[in-house]
Every structure is written in structure tokens, then in C-alpha cells.
Structure 1
């Protein structure tokens, strides 16, 4: 399926009049079906980690869109610079890491709300929303799961959840919100980590998993033989694993096709096993 790319500059509320966030949208192109509607996909810094919407982000978003999804990619450092990607170099890495802990957590949350609002307003989106992201984006996708409109979320090597160090003051409330029940009754969650990821060591992964399972959150947990940023196909410092990425892309799409790719109607809890089970 062919895709196209556009963007929207959306006014924000937290930063005063005249300020906006640029949200890139990559969507399927169906000239013969001008009224076609597709599920929405909030791609929170997909692949780019702390570098905004880079080449790897756009390529991965294009792959998702070509499967029949409208993909929104917010430029989340709009408080500090324009929407251009941050370079994959020492200066760019330092700048991205600096912005990451200067931005307020509530501002990250506003970006997510604005992106979902945009998706649900588009004529080619059916309003069924999923979220995904990597590294910083994985953490932001995790927080997107708190939104009732998000029906499923896949987080790749999400950083700073275990240490609660996202945002200004390096003191986020992500796991505290889980403990408070903010994921109760929400959508399906998938957490993917590399066992050799030094950004999220074993004790951190164990903490996240225990917190989710103790709260009975519907989560699938995958730990693979990989390092951090193994999905990024550019400047990954020798960590890119294309074969593993392809496999996990298929896993992710199965989750999204099952949860947002079709409308099954309202979920009904079954209190008893069927009478006839083969």
C-alpha cells in the first residue's frame, strides 16, 4: 500500500499563545477509495529515541502506514527547538539528553493528548488508536497507555521507567500511576527489552514486570538477545539487528491488527467456561 507524508502544527496550552507542536502524519494512499478509514497509530519518537523525527523514524512509520494505519509522529522537543531531527552525533546526543530532563512530564502528556486528538479528528482515521515507541519514546508510549482511547501499546526498550527519572527534576510518576490503578481496565500492553541493554538493566526490568503483574495488567513480556537501540537502522553503533527487528515488527503488527485493526464491539467479561470445550 502506498503512503504519503504531511504535518500539522497544533497549538499547545501549556506554553502560551502562539506556540505549537508539529506532528508528522504518514498515512495510506487509496485513490480508488477516497472515503477509506484506517486505525490510528501514535508513534511516539519511533526509533528516534531522543532525536525527534529522524530518517529511521520516518522509514519505520512508513512500514506501519503501508500496512493500513494512519501514523502520527510528534516532534516533542518543540519547547526548545524547531521540528528538525537532532543529529546522531555527540552534540546531538547531549542536546537530546538535556532536553529530555528539562521538559516537564505534564508537557510530554499534553503532546500525547494533542496527537491522539489529531488522529481522531482526521477523516481517514476510524478512531481506534494504538501506540508505540522506543527508548524515550517507549516510555512515552507507556504513558499513552493511561489514555482510555489507546487500545494497545507496544514499548521497545523503554527507558527511565524503572528509575522514575523522566522529565524536569528527573522524578516522573509512571510506575506510581500503575500502582494507583491507572492501567486498570485499559488496553493490552507489550514490553520488549534486550537482555544486553545497559540503559535498562535486569533489576530495572524485573521491577517494571513485577509492578505490572502485581497489578494484573494484561501485558506480554519479551526479552531478546539484543542491546539498546537494536531497531535503529542508522548510526546504531553496531547494535542494529535487522532480522530481529523484522520478527518483532510482525509481532507488533499482530497485536495491533487484533486490537485496533478491526472493530469487535464492546468487550464482555466471561464469568464461566464454555460448556463444550474441545
Structure 2
């Protein structure tokens, strides 16, 4: 499916959020995936993933996840400076501000004539956390969460009792949880804490662990595993076709 790409500046309670839109060129209405990036925002690998998913018949939105903390259009490098700035932003933004971003995106989607109004979320690294977190919004029907960081710790800034792990019981969407066994950021104990919490909370979810490191989906760098990436993309497409096209 041939796609087109453009951007919108969406107003949120915490400022203007540049959002990149990838969608089929074909006429008609399509379900939407909100795709949350890594701490680096919309890098080239993130853009390629968004295009890949859009080519399967989805409108894909890529918001600038730290729009309050950077000039519009900021993309951080995959280097120490970019990592330091991205991590600084991660710890500076309360989860409640991510929640209001998600609601702004949902409201935008509901106003677009090319959207059906059915919405899923997807994300990698901190974006995996944000995809999981976004599923607290009742409009989200499914979430594909790829090596989601910082869920297990509950350490990201938030109001008391509003951390993502504690709020898991409030998620009604179907979850797809993807992990790398050799991920140094999410050890086995951390993964099991999330797994046990999902079971205790009664969530509907699928859980897959692969022999891979962190960021194995990113098609730049030595950790990229193309075979596994293709498999995971297929799993995400299946999830969204089943939950958003029904």
C-alpha cells in the first residue's frame, strides 16, 4: 500500500506537540496507531517503522514525546549527548503530561475524516512504556509494547498512586508485550514483576521474550536483528488488524 506523510501541530495542555502522520494514499477511513518513539524522538528508524506500519492499512501518528522540553522538530542523536539529553527529558516530564498528550491525540484522531476512530498504540523503549500507559485511555483498544522501560520501577515522575505499574489494573485494552532476554535495562526480575502484575490484574495480554538485546528492532546499530524485527512487526500487524478492523 502506497503511503503519504505530513505533520500537524497539535495543541496540548502543556504546549504545541508536533505530530508526524503516515497514512495510506488510498481514499477511505483507516484505523489509527499512535506510535511512541524512544527518548530520541522521530529518528530515521522511527520514521521507517511508522511507514512500514502505515503500509499495512493504518494511519500512524508519531508525536514528539518531549515537546515541552525541546524546540519543535528536535531529533536527538544515537550518541552519548543524545542519550543524556533524552534521559534528562524522561525524568523531567510527569506521566500525567503524557496522559494529556494521549488525550489530545485521541481528540485529533476523532476529528479526522480519514480515521475510523478505532485506535491502538505501539512504542519502543520509553515509547513502549507510553504505549502501555496510553492504554489507560478508554479509547485505546490494543497496545504493542516493545521492550518497555521503567514500568517495573515506578520511578518516573507521577502523582502518588498514579505510576504505571499500579495503574495496570485499569487497562482494558489487549496488550502485546515484547522483550529481549539480554536487555540490560529490563532484567529478568523486572520483567517477571510486570508479568505477575498483569496476571494479578486480570489483563488480556500476550507475552514474548526473545534472545535479543535492547533496541533489537532499531534498524541502525549492532543490536539490530532483522529476522526478529520482521517477526515482531508481523505480530503487531496481526494484533491491530484483529482488534481495530473488527
> Which of the five TM-score ranges fits, normalised by the shorter chain?
over 0.9
Map of 2:191 onto structure 1: 205
The correspondence for 2:239, drawn from 247, 251, 255, is: 255
Q: Secondary structure of the residue that 1:7 maps to in structure 2?
A: strand
Q: C-alpha separation between the residues in 1 aligned to 2:44 and 2:198?
A: 33
Check whether the contact 1:193–1:223 (CA below 8 A) recurs between aligned residues.
Answer: yes
Per-residue displacement from partner, 1:244-272 (whole Å, max 9, x unpaired)? Answer: 00011111111111000x23xxxxxxxxx
2:31 pairs with 1:39: yes
The 1:172/1:239 distance shift into structure 2, 3 A limit, reads farther
The correspondence for 1:73, drawn from 59, 62, 87, is: 62
2:229 pairs with 1:245: yes
**How many aligned positions are there?**
245
Q: Secondary structure of the residue that 2:67 maps to in structure 1?
A: coil
Tell me by how many angstroms 1:168 deviates.
6.6
Q: C-alpha separation between the residues in 1 aligned to 2:208 and 2:59?
A: 26
Greater helix proportion: 2
The correspondence for 2:180, drawn from 190, 194, 202, is: 194
Question: Structure 1 residue runs of 4+, over 3 Å off?
Answer: 167-172
Within-5 A mapping of 1:67-106: 67-82=56-71, 83-106=73-96
Tell me by how many angstroms 1:110 deviates.
1.2
Per-residue displacement from partner, 1:184-243 (whole Å, max 9, x unpaired)? Answer: xx1211111000011000000000000001111111000011000000012x3x110011
2:4 pairs with 1:8: no
Map of 1:150 onto structure 2: 140
Of stretches 196-205 and 19-28 in structure 1, the one that deviates more from structure 2 is: 19-28
The correspondence for 1:123, drawn from 106, 110, 113, is: 113
Per-residue displacement from partner, 1:108-158 (whole Å, max 9, x unpaired)? Answer: 111111112212211111001010001000000001111111111110000
2:165 pairs with 1:175: yes
Map of 1:20 onto structure 2: 16
Tell me by how many angstroms 1:87 deviates.
1.1
Per-residue displacement from partner, 1:31-62 (whole Å, max 9, x unpaired)? Answer: xx3xx0001111111xxx11001111110000
Check whether the contact 1:38–1:124 (CA below 8 A) recurs between aligned residues.
Answer: yes
Q: C-alpha separation between the residues in 1 aligned to 2:162 and 2:202?
A: 22
TM-score (norm 2): 0.96
Q: C-alpha separation between the residues in 1 aligned to 2:163 and 2:69?
A: 23
Of stretches 1-10 and 65-74 in structure 1, the one that deviates more from structure 2 is: 1-10
Q: Secondary structure of the residue that 2:92 maps to in structure 1?
A: coil
Q: Secondary structure of the residue that 2:170 maps to in structure 1?
A: coil
Check whether the contact 1:189–1:219 (CA below 8 A) recurs between aligned residues.
Answer: yes
2:47 pairs with 1:63: no
Q: C-alpha separation between the residues in 2 aligned to 1:53 and 1:122?
A: 22
Per-residue displacement from partner, 1:76-98 (whole Å, max 9, x unpaired)? Answer: 11111122211111111100000
Q: C-alpha separation between the residues in 1 aligned to 2:113 and 2:62?
A: 18
